[in-house]
Each structure stands twice: as C-alpha cells, then as structure tokens.
Structure 1
Amino acid sequence: MPTNLIPFPVETLLIVDDSPLQRLHTVGLMRDLGVEMIYEAGDGHEALDLLGLLRLPPSLVIVDLEMPGMDGVEFIQHLQERNLNFPLIVASSRETSLLASVETMIQELGMHVLGALQKPLNQEKILGALNTYNSNLALPKTGDALPAVCETELAAAIRNRKIVAYYQPKVDIRTGMLKGVEALARWLHPDTGVIPPDHFIPLAEQTGLIHELTLSMLEQAMEQAALWNERGLPLKVAVNLSPLSLDIPGFVQKIADLLAQHALQADQIVLEITESSVVANLGTALGTLARLRLKGFGLSIDDYGTGFSSMQQLARIPFTELKIDRSFVHGAHARQNLRVILQSALDMAKRLELVTVAEGIETMEDWRLLQDSGCTIGQGYLIAKPMPANDLPIWLKGHHRRLAELRPPAGQVGSASA
C-alpha cells in the first residue's frame, strides 16, 4: 500500500474530467500519492448527481475546465450555490491567464482553491498546490473572528501606546542587504492579543482618530530610527500616511517638529500614500505633499496599480518611490499577464527616476524575476514578516547567512544584476 504523501488527509477524491484518458492519468498520480478512494465524473452534471449520492463528501475535488454539458466554471458556481465548499484544484490545458481568472473567481466566491494548474498534470504540480493547504490553514483569521472594538477603547489604546509599530524589512533586490523598514500598526490588546490594522483603521478613519494614530506611528517610527542610528544601523523608515491627515492644519509642521526632536534627517523618513487617496480637497492635499517634499521627506505611491488613477497621481505628486502592489508581484513568475504589467511599471519608474519597491514577495521564483527585471527594493514574507523593533537585530544576524542564496546566480542576465 503506498504511503500517503499528501500534506493533509484525503479520504475521498473526486476527479471531474470529460476525458477518460486524462482521468486515468490523474487517478494514477493520486494513487501513487497514497489516495485510495477516488470517484470520477465526466462533466459537471454527472459530478453534481454523484455528490448527491455520496455518504462521505470528497476531501478534494480536481476539476477540468473544458467539458461538454456543464463546464468546470459552471460546476464550481453550482457548488457555491449549494454551499458545497470542498478544497479545489482546477486543471486545464488552456492559457494561464484564463486559469488565473478562474482561480480569482473561486476566491471571490469565498471558496477554497488550492491551485489552477496547466495540463499535463504531474506529481510536482499537484504537490505544489496541495502544500498551500496547510499554509492557508496557518493564516491568522481576522475580521469577524475578532471582537468588535469601540471608539473609546481605540482612543485609549492610541493614547496609551497599545497600538505599536511593527517593522517589516525592505532589502536590496540585487544584494539582499537591509536598506530600510516599513512601520506597520499593530494593536497589542490585553485580552485578544495582536489585532491587525484592518480591524481598527476603518474605525479610526470613521471617528476622526486616524490623525492621532498617524502622529503616534510617526513619533514611534522616528524614535526607533534615532535609536537605530545611535547603534550604527541607519535605516530608511517608511510610515503610512492617512489621506485624511493631509487636510489637517499644521500637519506639516508637526511632522517637522518630530523630526527635529529626534535629530533625524528628512530623507530618512518615507511617507507612503495610497494611490487613490489624494482625491478629496485636492488642492490642500497637493500643497501638503509638496511642502513635505520641499522639506526633504521621501514620498512613496503605495499599492501602485490597484486603482484607476495611478498615472494621474504620478503626474501630480512629486513621488520619489513607486511601491508595486503584491497582487502584481505574487506569482508573477508563473503568469505572463502579471509579468508584463510588472515589467511595464518597473520600466516606467526607471524613466521617472523613482526607487521601485515590490511588496508581497513570497517565493524565490518571484524574487529571481524581480532581480532580472530591474526592481530596486524587495519586501515580503520571503524576507521577513513584520516584527517588533527589538527582534530586528536578531533577524538581521540570521538574514546575513542567507545573502549568498538571495544574490543573483553567477551569469544571470538582467538589468538588476548587470
């Protein structure tokens, strides 16, 4: 009996494919991986009928896209309508852009997709998709899983510095050397532990507490930058700037005062502005950003490519840095459409003489692609997760041992390694 090599228990497998030969091939692959109970269906209709008869629902469904009668997309939509949410692997010989679109559709439907694989299938592809199962389970659950917070509690947390800055390293793509960090807000709640920003930033914006929170994060980041300077670790520190703060009278002076208080140079601080944020009160906002740039602060356009005003914002605002959203970085090595968009953004930034930062780097394949594409700075879980300030020196010691691995292989051709 073969050993089950799959990283999670698969008691029952359903293969939906109109080709008997393809089904036979997939059955063989899965039996070699240790799966014994395998059901087969020739199209979506047959699969739905079979699911109505099974006493033990499938632990995994592998579904082809092109099938007569009911194709794979329609079958998946029927599963969602019937509230049947099995882990799914989509398989097809069609183009990767179509596979990526179907994968996104499944995610938007709130269903569990492990991967969208091009045929012919093999064990390496299947295991690569299955290995995402455990990592997805390990992701922290946010949103509704956390208790609701109120304005009074949030205000007290800001005032008492219970919302603290965690720091995510930003490294040189060519060398792997640490160049800076991004300060990210984390609420250290006494009862529920670490609360992520998406659970309290909207409340801060709705209640007007966002200005107080932004200033608190700036002050913490500057304090930490000054401490690192004293210890011989001068780093650029990026801080997210709420668009609502751009309208506050005296905001520029408050930031300048904090800078002077901690004896920092303005070019050590980078202020990140989401590309779609400078819409309301445009005149005031542009004036604030221009004054910040005049004082020497770096300005980064954050989440570039996720809105509809990217080009317009680049033309209006004196940015020094372009930060490419993770949706165009993660998996770009395997998707031609993402690679084209990513490369065009990098080429444009180079012509505009902007530093480029790619966020959301999670795999070595994407890291190598960015090296070969001329990106400047990388950020993501491949390098490090956000961490408390005290953990950074410890991380850095371990990171130095990875530098040889992160540098371009000998003879690699590309603008980043030239």
Structure 2
Amino acid sequence: MVANVTQVRKIDSILIVDDSPLQRAHAAELCHQNGIDLIYQANNGVEALELLAMLKIAPSIIMVDLEMPGMDGVELIQNLQERNFQIPLLIASSREDSLITSVSTMIAALGQTLLGSLKKPLNPNQLTPILNNIDTHLSRPKQTHPEDIDKLTHDDLIHAIANGHIVPYFQPKVDVRTGMIKGVEALARWLHPERGMVGPDLFIPLAEESDHIIRLLTLSIAEQTIAQCAAWNNRNLHLTYAINLSPMLLNSGDFFHEITKLPELNGIQNQQITWEVTESSVVNNLATALGTLARLRLKGFGLSIDDYGTGFSSMQQLARIPFTELKIDRSFVNGACQQHNLAIILQSAIEMANRLGMSAVAEGVETLEDWRLLQRFGCDVGQGYFIARPMPAKDLFSWLKSHNQRLSELKYQDISR
C-alpha cells in the first residue's frame, strides 16, 4: 500500500513510537514544552503504521525507539520508506553510538530525512536544538532520482553551457574562531529555462560521461568564478575561491594550460584559487595526475582534498600529494556533537590536518552545537547551512551585511577560563 498522506512543514504534531509507556509520556511532555500540541503515540511499529494509514494529515515528525518487541525501530523505518511515508525522523535510543550511527546511515541511504539522534533518557537540552533547526532540514532540496537523468541529454548540457545557463553559486567558508568570511566555494547550478533549477547530482554525472563536456563545464565555471573574483577584488572583497576539478581532467596537458592562464588574464593572483579534488581523483593514471597536481601547486594554486574520509585511499593520498587543505566530509560533521564516534573521527581528522600544516575545513555544519564542537577541536574553516546556503553572486554582499551581525554569536568562547 502506498500512502497518500501529505507532509506538514510546520512543527505542529509528532508521532512517538516507543514500547515503554513511561518513556512515551516523558517524551510527550518534552514535546509539549517545545510547543508541540498534537502528539500521537504508538506502542510499536505495527501500531504506528496502522495509525499513519488512518490519518488524513501526517505528523510533522516521527520519533522512533529502536528496541521494541515485534516490529523494531529499524523495521519500522524500512516500512515507512516502502510505503512512501516521507516524514522526518528522530531516533531515540539508549543503545551504543555505533548502532545508532549504522541506523542513521541506513536512513540516509533510503533517502529519508533524519533530524537527529537522541540518547535516552531524553532531556530538553537534546530535543530543543533539533526542533529549533528543523527548517534547515525541511528546506533542503529533496534528493533527485537517478532515472531523471534520462530526461536530459548531452546536447541539452552543451547548449546550456554555451548559453550561460550553468552558473556558479557561491557558498561562504568562514573562520571557525571568528566567524569572519575567508572564501567561497563555487558550485555549478543549471538554471534551466523550463525545468527551473537542475541539481548538480543530475547534470554532473551526465557531464562526466564525456571528456569534452566535463572540460567545457569546468572551464565555464572556472572562467565565471575567476571573473567574479576579479570583480570582488575591485570592491575590496579579497577571498579565496574553491573550484571543483573533475578527476577526468587531471590527465590533460592542454586543460592544465587553459586553467592556469585564467587568473593572469583576469589580473588576480593564483593564490586566491584552490582546486578541489576528491580522494579517488588520482587512483587512475597516477603518474600524469600527480604531475598535474604538482604543477598546479608549483604555480601557487591551493589544492584541497574534498570529501575526506569517504574513500579507501585517504591516508595514501595525503602522503603523496601536496594538498594545502583537508576538507572533512559532512557525514563526519553533521550531528557530531551528539555522536561520540563521529566526534572522535572528526577531531582526529582536524588534528592530522594541523600536524601536516594543512587547513582543516569542515563542510556540512548545520547547528550551533556542531559549530562549537569545531571550535573546541581547533578546526580552521567551516562551511554549511548554519552559515549560508549557496547563493548567486549578486546576493553575497547582502548576506555579508546580515552575517556580520552574527559575529558575536559565532566568535569562539573560551569556557575554560
């Protein structure tokens, strides 16, 4: 059965699924304290599914206990996905962090929204920050389905590049200690005249099916970004600019010459540009790829290892490539303040970057609690929805004006004194 229940964006209701009446009552009281008036309760997964099938309007959130007789929390979550209940989830459990992390990863793989993980016994300090940041989760663009790629063609993509429909959006990167802006990452966005915004998860894989198209796309984004850098330099806004570099292009000597001449043509210094490459970028054609990266570094460009921690070759790559920046994947940042295992991995990555003389950049920062954790761990730069979403160039100065009013909140607070 496929549910036709519509999701409500406002936090006006919650379904608590827990086999303990005492735990359910305690959770309900905490929800009342946070302004949620309509509270549904279910004793187990079966009851929860029966209730959802009867409701005309789905609850805003479902809080799920993992350990329940009969249908446990994991099976319930899987059933929710199978029946197309796309309702944001909260995990509440007293089990070990590694188990909770596994379930969190499963939820992400199912394409569902996880608001957070709560350790039992629950307390207001856990629940309130999550509810206060729910808009961040609900306003994030939904994951697109791979089959939608078939609706776009190589010719569509070439036409879009040629006509300037694919443009860089800029996501700020800020100093973790002060909150001051340090740079931006250029992220390709396709402004389709009929489809609207086409996500990069659709058109980047399409572009990478062709050496020619990914070259055209990367050159276009690089040209637009470096031209924007020159324009902002003229307005006394001097930032660093991170541009993603496809691994497919590391073997092209001609492409190397094309990208390295762009800063000089626009009157900017190479040091303002950082090329981001993923961990797996130099696995194939190792000698040529390493040569290209070394030559980029010789010319003064920064090199960033992107999505650090998601590939098998991380340590080896750090040892043999002259990276200047280590970009820690969001999966180790988001929610790290609540998950001990994630916090340990995050701290280790930051300490390793510091010892190697690299800048540690954390992406996917979405809450003040994770921001404070990065400060305590000595991270250099943060990036994520807590700071700003990617935006068109025209919006950056208005964002800066409002962001500067937050600096007192973002500044590092040494609580040890």
Aligned to 1:15: 17
1:315-373 CA-to-partner distances (Å, cap 9, x unmatched) read 12111111111111111111111111111111111111011111111111111111111
SS at match of 1:206: coil
Counterpart-to-counterpart distance in 1, 2:52 and 2:335: 38
CA contact (8 A) 2:12 2:37 kept: no
Aligned to 1:47: 47
Please say if 1:120 is aligned against 2:115: no
Q: CA deviation at 1:390?
A: 2.2
SS at match of 1:333: coil
Aligned to 1:325: 329
Structure 1 pair 120–13 and aligned structure 2 pair: CA distance change class (3 A): same
Please say if 1:336 is aligned against 2:340: yes
Aligned to 1:194: 197
CA contact (8 A) 1:16 1:47 kept: no
Aligned to 1:141: 142
Match of 1:303 among 282, 304, 307: 307
Match of 2:363 among 359, 363, 377: 359
Counterpart-to-counterpart distance in 1, 2:365 and 2:302: 23
Question: Map of 1:69-80 to 2, 5 A cutoff?
Answer: 69-80=70-81
Counterpart-to-counterpart distance in 1, 2:38 and 2:275: 56
SS at match of 2:337: helix
Aligned to 1:154: 157
Counterpart-to-counterpart distance in 2, 1:52 and 1:178: 48
Question: TM (normalized to structure 2)?
Answer: 0.86
CA contact (8 A) 2:16 2:24 kept: no
Q: CA deviation at 1:98?
A: 2.5
Identify the range of structure 1 (107-116 vs 257-266) with the bigger mean alpha-carbon deviation.
107-116
Counterpart-to-counterpart distance in 2, 1:101 and 1:350: 29
CA contact (8 A) 1:13 1:35 kept: no
| 2:216 counterpart letter in structure 1 | E
1:7-61 CA-to-partner distances (Å, cap 9, x unmatched) read 4343x845331x34334434555567565674442x45x637x828974477354
Please say if 1:407 is aligned against 2:406: no
Question: Map of 1:370-381 to 2, 5 A cutoff?
Answer: 370-381=374-385
Sequence identity of aligned pairs in percent?
56
CA contact (8 A) 2:65 2:93 kept: yes
Structure 1 pair 107–184 and aligned structure 2 pair: CA distance change class (3 A): closer
Counterpart-to-counterpart distance in 2, 1:368 and 1:130: 18
| 2:389 counterpart letter in structure 1 | K
Root mean square deviation of aligned Cα: 2.9
SS at match of 1:261: helix
CA contact (8 A) 1:240 1:273 kept: yes
Structure 1 pair 94–258 and aligned structure 2 pair: CA distance change class (3 A): same
Gaps of 5+ in 1: 1-5
Match of 1:396 among 397, 400, 413: 400
Counterpart-to-counterpart distance in 2, 1:62 and 1:400: 36
Please say if 1:93 is aligned against 2:94: yes
Please say if 1:246 is aligned against 2:250: yes
1:160-198 CA-to-partner distances (Å, cap 9, x unmatched) read 222111111111111122211111111122122222221
Counterpart-to-counterpart distance in 2, 1:155 and 1:92: 50
Gaps of 5+ in 2: 1-8
Match of 2:391 among 387, 391, 416: 387
Aligned to 1:236: 240
Please say if 1:108 is aligned against 2:109: yes
1:182-225 CA-to-partner distances (Å, cap 9, x unmatched) read 11111122122222221211111102300111111111111111
Counterpart-to-counterpart distance in 2, 1:353 and 1:318: 10
Q: CA deviation at 1:128?
A: 4.8
Match of 2:169 among 161, 166, 170: 166
Q: CA deviation at 1:87?
A: 4.9
CA contact (8 A) 1:328 1:338 kept: yes
Structure 1 pair 53–232 and aligned structure 2 pair: CA distance change class (3 A): closer
| 1:204 counterpart letter in structure 2 | A
Match of 2:284 among 280, 286, 306: 280
Question: TM (normalized to structure 1)?
Answer: 0.86
Structure 1 pair 97–413 and aligned structure 2 pair: CA distance change class (3 A): farther
Counterpart-to-counterpart distance in 1, 2:52 and 2:158: 55
Counterpart-to-counterpart distance in 1, 2:244 and 2:405: 30
Q: How many equivalent residue pairs?
A: 403
Counterpart-to-counterpart distance in 2, 1:80 and 1:390: 39
